[in-house]
Structure 1
Amino acid sequence: MNAWIIAIRPKTLFAAISPIILGNAIAASSPFFDCSIAITCLLCAVFLQITVNLVNDYFDTKSGIDNNQRLGPLRACQAGIISHKQIKIGIALTTLLSILSGLYLVLHGGVAFLYLGVASIVCAFAYSLGSKSLANLALGELTVFIFFGIIAVCGSYYLQTHTLHIDAIIMATCVGLLNAAIMFVNNTRDRVTDEQAGKRTLAVRVSEPMCSPVYRAFIYLAFAIMVIAYFMGQLHGLPVLLTGLSFIFARKLTEKFEVAKGTEYNTVLNKTALLTFIFSGLFSVGTLYQQFLLK
C-alpha cells in the first residue's frame, strides 16, 4: 500500500481538488445545484490527476529521465517498488475510473463534456509519452493551466448552473496560474537532469536565471487578476479580501523559490500546492458566506 501512495503522489492532488471546490462554491447558490455532480466532478478530477502521475512515473522511468540522480521524491517505478506491469494495471484502472465518472458528467453537461473528457485522457498520456510529449514541447504549464484551471473551474460551474459567468472565468484563470506554478517548480527542480535526458521543459528553455521571475509571474499574476477584477466590479469584496490574506504566504514562497537549491525545491513544490488549496478555499468560504449568510 505504501508503494501505491508514493506512486499516487497525494500532495499533488491539491491541484485537482482546488479548482473543483472553487467552481462548485461559485455555483452553490444555483437552483440547479446538485451535490452528486459536485462529488463526481471531484472524483473525476482526482482520478485524472492520479492517471497523470502514474503515466509520468512509468514513462519517465522507461525513458531514463527518472534515475538515481533525480532530486525529487521517490518514484515507485524507478525505485522498483512497483513493477512496470503493476503500474500499467494501475494506469488502466484509474483511466477507467476517470471515464466512468466522466460519463456521468456527460449525461448532465452534454456532448461537449465528452470531447473534454477525451481530450483530458489524451493529454494525461501526451504529457509524458514520446519525444514529442507535451513536457518536451514546454507545454506542461499551459496544459495544467487549461485543464486544471479553465476547464476544471468553468466546467464544474457550468454543470451546476448550465451557464458560464465572468466570475468563474476570472477565478479559473487565477487558480490555473497557481497550478501552472506547481508544475513549474517541479520542472525547475529537475531542470539539470531533464536537460541531460533531452527533456525540454519550460524551465529548461528559459534557463536558470529566468526561473525565479517566471515563478513569481505565475503567483503574482493570479492575485493581480483577482484584485483588478474586484476594482472592475466583477468580483465581490469579501472573498477577494479573504483570499488576499494568502498573499503573505505567497510572497514568502517566492522568496524561498529564489534561494532554493536541489531538494529544497520539494518543500517549495508542496507549499505551492498548498497555496493553491488555501487560495481556492478562502475564496470559496468568502463566496459561500456572501451567497447565503449575507442575504
Structure 2
Amino acid sequence: MRLKYWFCAVRSQTLLLSFSGITLSYLISISKGYGDFYTYLLCIITSIFLQVLANFSNDYGDSIKGVDNYQRIGPKRTIQSGLISIFAMKKAINILSILSFCSGLLLIYRSIELNNFFFFFFYFIGIFVCIYSSIKYSVGPYPYGYLGMGDLSVFIFFGLVSVGGSYFLYTKVFSLDIFLLSLSIGLLSLSVLNINNMRDIKNDYKNGKYTVAGILGIKYAKLYHIFSIIISIVLGIFFNILNDYKNIYKWLFFILNIPFFIRHLKRIISIENPECFNSELKRLIHLTFLYSMSIGIGAQIK
C-alpha cells in the first residue's frame, strides 16, 4: 500500500515529457548516422531521476507553503493528503538528488572524453544546475516557480536541455535545425505547465504563488497558450524545411498532428470550469509525445 502512495507522488504521466524530447533527439541522431543506445539509456534514466526529484520537491514545497490545500483543483498531493510524511519525502528528495548526480556523471563520462575538458566541465556543472533547479522550483525561501519563472525553467530544461543537450551527447554537433526543434518541444512543455497554472490560477495567486498564468489572468493566459502552441508548430515546420523538405512521408507524419492540436486549442478556449483543465493537461502531454515521435519516426524514412 505504501508503494502505491509513492507511485502517486511520482506522477508518472509527467515522465512522458522527459521521454519525448530525449527520444526525439536520439531518433534524429540515428537518421544522421550517429546515436549510441547506451548514451540514450543513460539520458533517459538521468532525466527520469530529475523529473521524479522535481515532482517530489513540488509535493513537499507546495504542501509546506500551503498552496496544496482543500481549494486546490488538481490531483491531491501525497503530503497534503497525509499519505507520505514530510520527513519521508525529504529523505526521498535527498536520495533522488544522489541518484541524479551519479547517473548524470556516468552519462557524461561515457559520452564525453575526459580530454575534452570544456564540454566535460560544462555538462558536469549542468548536472548540479539541473538538480538545484529541480528542487528550488518549489522549495526554499524564494522558490523561482513562485516568482513567475516556472515557464522559462520548463522551456529550458524540457526543450533546450532535453532535445539540444542530449543531441550533442549523441553527435558532438550543434546545429540550427535541432535548436529550432528544441524550441518547439520547449514551447509544448511550457504549454503543459500553463494548463496546470490556469487550472489553479485563483488558489495559487491567493497563496502567493505567482505564475505567468496568474499574472496574465485567465483570458490572456489562454492567448498565451494558443500562441505558444502555434509558434511550436511553426518551428516544427522550419525544422522539416531544413531537413529533407522534399520527403513527403516526413510531412505526412507531421501534418497528422495538426487536427489534434486544433481540437485541443478549441477546448482550451471554451473551458469555463477549471476542473476541465485536468483532462486537457493529460491530453497535451500525450500530444507532445505523439508530436515528438512523429517527427522522430518521420526522420527515419528516406
| Gap runs ≥5 in structure 2 | 113-119
Q: How many residues align?
A: 289
Give distance in 2, aligned partners of 1:10 and 1:244.
Answer: 28
Q: Choose 248-257 or 26-35, whichever is displaced more.
A: 26-35
Quickly say closer, same or farther: Cα 1:242–1:133, change in 2 above 3 A.
Answer: same
Q: Which residue of 2 aligns with 1:154?
A: 164
Q: Which one of the candidate residues 53, 56, 59 is aligned to 1:54? A: 56
Give distance in 2, aligned partners of 1:169 and 1:57.
Answer: 32
Question: What are the within-5 Å matches in structure 2 for residues 65-76 of structure 1?
Answer: 65-76=67-78
Q: CA shift at 1:234, angstroms?
A: 4.6
Q: CA shift at 1:235, angstroms?
A: 5.5
Q: Which residue of 2 aligns with 1:266?
A: 278
Counterpart residue identity of residue 264, structure 1: C
Give distance in 1, aligned partners of 2:220 and 2:136.
Answer: 26
Q: Which residue of 2 aligns with 1:143?
A: 153
Q: Choose 185-194 or 218-227, whichever is displaced more.
A: 218-227
Question: What are the within-5 Å matches in structure 2 for residues 223-242 of structure 1?
Answer: 223-231=233-241, 233-234=242-243, 236=245, 237=247, 238-242=249-253
User: Residue 2 of structure 1: SS of its match in structure 2?
Assistant: helix
Q: Is 2:247 the counterpart of 1:245?
A: no
Quickly say closer, same or farther: Cα 1:255–1:131, change in 2 above 3 A.
Answer: farther
Q: Which one of the candidate residues 204, 208, 215 is aligned to 1:194? A: 204
TM-score (norm 2): 0.91
CA contact under 8 A between 2:198 and 2:274: conserved in structure 1?
no
Counterpart residue identity of residue 204, structure 2: D
Counterpart residue identity of residue 279, structure 1: Y
Q: Which one of the candidate residues 258, 261, 276 is aligned to 2:288? A: 276
CA contact under 8 A between 1:7 and 1:54: conserved in structure 2?
yes
Q: Which one of the candidate residues 4, 8, 33 is aligned to 1:2? A: 4
CA contact under 8 A between 2:138 and 2:144: conserved in structure 1?
yes
Quickly say closer, same or farther: Cα 1:177–1:124, change in 2 above 3 A.
Answer: same
Q: Which residue of 2 aligns with 1:285?
A: 297
Quickly say closer, same or farther: Cα 1:228–1:165, change in 2 above 3 A.
Answer: closer
CA contact under 8 A between 1:26 and 1:288: conserved in structure 2?
yes
Q: CA shift at 1:259, angstroms?
A: 2.1
Question: What are the within-5 Å matches in structure 2 for residues 162-201 of structure 1?
Answer: 162-201=172-211
Q: CA shift at 1:249, angstroms?
A: 0.7
Counterpart residue identity of residue 5, structure 2: A
CA contact under 8 A between 1:72 and 1:266: conserved in structure 2?
yes
Give distance in 2, aligned partners of 1:61 and 1:243.
Answer: 40
Q: CA shift at 1:32, angstroms?
A: 5.0
User: Residue 145 of structure 2: SS of its match in structure 1?
Assistant: coil
Q: Deviations over 1:93-151 (max 9, x none)?
A: 22222111100122123121112111111111121124532212211111111011011
CA contact under 8 A between 1:239 and 1:284: conserved in structure 2?
no
Q: CA shift at 1:247, angstroms?
A: 1.3
User: Residue 76 of structure 1: SS of its match in structure 2?
Assistant: coil
Q: Deviations over 1:190-225 (max 9, x none)?
A: 100001101111011011211111111111111111
Q: CA shift at 1:166, angstroms?
A: 2.0
Quickly say closer, same or farther: Cα 1:99–1:128, change in 2 above 3 A.
Answer: same
Q: Which residue of 1 aligns with 2:222?
A: 212
Q: CA shift at 1:33, angstroms?
A: 2.6
Give distance in 2, aligned partners of 1:65 and 1:244.
Answer: 40
Q: Which residue of 1 aligns with 2:117?
A: none
User: Residue 79 of structure 1: SS of its match in structure 2?
Assistant: coil
Q: CA shift at 1:162, angstroms?
A: 1.0
Q: Choose 233-242 or 268-277, whichever is displaced more.
A: 233-242
CA RMSD of aligned residues (A): 1.5
User: Residue 69 of structure 1: SS of its match in structure 2?
Assistant: coil
TM-score (norm 1): 0.94
Q: CA shift at 1:188, angstroms?
A: 0.8
Q: CA shift at 1:227, angstroms?
A: 1.6
Give distance in 1, aligned partners of 2:218 and 2:11.
Answer: 26
Q: Which residue of 1 aligns with 2:98?
A: 96
| Gap runs ≥5 in structure 1 | none
